[in-house]
Amino acid sequence: MALKGDLDITKNLKMIEWLKAELVESVGALLKSLLNASAEATADRLASLLILIYLLGDRVGVSFAVLDSAVKAKLKQSLAAAPPDDRWHQDMKALHDHWQHRTR
């Protein structure tokens, strides 16, 4: 006889596996869309990936707020590591500024 807690754990594990499979499938769809799809289709696939990442994080115990904080910290770390005149630094700075603005 299965206990309710066991069923919840099993259900959560199945959802995690499903999200992981969706993530892999979505990465494949994104890579295909980069070959010949419109910017709108590519944006749709990128949005799907972001949603899946947030949902997977939540299922494994990483809240949306914690994930947001981790992204901010990673952006700061990347900014500190890249030379200021480097294109990568400029890209990270633009993303950092966007992230700061959207999460206020």
The residues, ordered by sequence, that sit 6+ positions from 29 with a Cβ below 8 Å of its Cβ are: 45, 48
pLDDT at site 29: 92
Most confident range, picked from 22-26, 34-38, 74-78, 96-100 = 22-26
Query: CA distances (Å), 69 to each of 73, 76, 91, 97, 104, in order?
Result: 6, 11, 19, 14, 12
Residue spans of the domains in the chain: they are: 1-62, 63-104
What's the pTM value of the predicted model, to 2 decimals? 0.83
Question: Cβ distance 93 to 46 under 8 Å?
Answer: no
* Sequence letter at residue 41: A
CA pair distance 104, 92, nearest whole angstrom: 18
Asked if pLDDT for residue 2 goes beyond 90, the answer is no
Which tens digits make up the pLDDT trace of 33-65? 899 878 999 999 999 999 999 999 999 999 999
